[in-house]
Amino acid sequence: MPMYQNGEVDPAVKALEARQDEIMRKLYELKAAVEGLAKTVTTPDADLDLTVSSSLSSQSLSSTTFKGAVTDLDTLLGKDLGALRDIVINANPAQPPLSLMVLHSLLCQRYRVLSTVHVHSSVTGVLPQLLSCLGPRHADSYARHMFQLGFTLIWKDVPKLQMKFSVQNMCPIEGEANVARFLFKLLAPYPSDPALATLVDSWVDTAFFQLAEGSAKERSAVLRALNSALGRNPWLAGPDLSLADIACYCCVLQSGSASSAPTNVQRWIKSCENLGHFSPAKLLLQ
Amino acid sequence: MALNLTINTSNPPLGALLAAEHVKSSVQVSVEEGKDTRLQVSDAIQFNDTNSISRYLARVAPALGLYGANMMEQTEVDHWLEFSARRLCGQPGLAVALGELDKALSLRTFLVGHAITLADLSVWAALKGHGEWPSQGKSFSHVSRWFYFLSSQVPF
């Protein structure tokens, strides 16, 4: 059949063209809609439903405690693949990880964190304060894409605290000290000076291995070392609060040696408590 | 800047010595024999344990990437530093720890990332110093492969 008759376009072809235009228009609309959706999933900051994000932003006031803070999770953790970055922690209810509770509450001030607590079948009779230790269930918890980080705590019969994150690339991380280092790096960079950074790590090791697990003799040696370090500086690693302070504070508290601590340590415990970040740790101890 | 590392000759900190050997092209480290292991950094700061010394050496030579290439690798390195100090050094239950190590190495050439890090140095040093390791080697094929691969490298 000839397409043109006497210079006129066949009405059937015209109809076909109109249909094609209509289909293309619908496809464009669909594409735009999908791109919009993809944006809300991959960049949690952008294009959120304003009614929901306003209720979230009231909680995500930026923390002023740490200087030179990084907030871009993509820079820290690599490209966001669209799924919620979920930090899964297996902890034994016999040894609640106080330092991680403090870091969790700091993370909640910085990021939109979806926190959940579970009890693994290997343990029974978990105390109610351990079940509610991450605060009440978030009202928007069904919408995972609205959160930047997931924090999933599982009470489980494990010999050592364990973190699973990005399981394709990372081995499971063992030890509260190492998990604390990881969480802290999401809040603030380590000091750029190698000596200060290593000093922080060294205090963290001392806190978890000598204060928390050591003998009475080791503990009093650490308290003396803390006392002399705190005579030189307001915080353990110099003029700013660092992970060293969080780790040592929590371990002093856990070992029950806070009341018998020497003067400088007592003063420093007060300063820690004045900051208000440490109440989640105290709650767990009750 | 020359660093001075004093080592306890009766219990030499193998991991720290390996780290020192790796960074010697970028930082000058002189090693002295003495009673206690110590790295004096400044008047106020000194490090006495192998892990802190290794961490410091890795940080003063960042170009070598001994502490991993990103935050997640750093965390894995931290994990293995603690693993070597707490699970491998003179602790009971070596077989369990070796089982975990074997599993971790089953799909890897190096413990963390695709290059040598403090994780390899400290775990290798802990095994090297462990009396029971050579006899256990046969049952953990991945650990053996990795251990002898590293042993054949120049700095080891």
List the single best residue of A70, A168, A171 to mutate versus B (max B Cβ within 10 A).
A171
pLDDT at A2: 54
Rounded to whole angstroms, how far apart are CA atoms B31 and B21? 10
pLDDT at A5: 59
Residues 6+ apart with CB under 8 A from A203: A236, A237, A244, A247, A248
pLDDT at A47 over 70: no
3-state SS class at B33: strand
Q: Does A192 touch chain B (CB under 8 A)?
A: no
Backbone torsions φ then ψ of B93, nearest 5 degrees:
80, 35
A82 pLDDT band, cuts 50/70/90, is low
pLDDT at A68: 46
A48 pLDDT band, cuts 50/70/90, is very low
Rounded to whole angstroms, how far apart are CA atoms A286 and A101? 14
Selected residue with higher pLDDT from A138 and A66: A138
Residue of B nearest to A76 (CA): B71
Rounded to whole angstroms, how far apart are CA atoms B78 and B67? 9
Share the mean pLDDT of chain B: 90
Backbone torsions φ then ψ of B112, nearest 5 degrees:
-130, 130
Distance, in angstroms, between A23 CA and closest chain B CA?
A: 47
ipTM, two decimals, is: 0.91
Angle between helices B141-151 and B94-105 (to 10 degrees): 80
Residue of B nearest to A190 (CA): B71
Report the predicted TM-score, pTM, of the whole model to 2 decimal places: 0.80
CB–CB contact A198 B52 (8 Å): yes
Q: Which two tokens stand for residue A132?
A: 């509610």
pLDDT at B150 over 90: yes
Selected residue with higher pLDDT from A67 and A101: A101
Distance, in angstroms, between A36 CA and closest chain B CA?
A: 30
Q: Any bridge partners for residue A163, and if so which?
A: A89, A173
Residues 6+ apart with CB under 8 A from A91: A97, A100, A153, A154, A155, A156, A158, A161, A162
CB–CB contact B72 A174 (8 Å): no
List the single best residue of A205, A206, A230 to mutate versus B (max B Cβ within 10 A).
A205
pLDDT tens for residues A150-203? 899 999 999 999 999 987 888 999 999 999 999 999 998 888 899 999 999 999
CB–CB contact A171 B104 (8 Å): yes
Q: Which residues of B touch A209 (CB under 8 A)?
A: 86
Q: Which residues of A touch B51 (CB under 8 A)?
A: 201, 205
pLDDT tens for residues B117-140? 999 999 999 999 887 888 887 889
Closest by CA position to A182, among listed A70, A87, A71: A87
pLDDT tens for residues A12-21? 899 999 999 9
Share of chain B above pLDDT 90, in %: 58
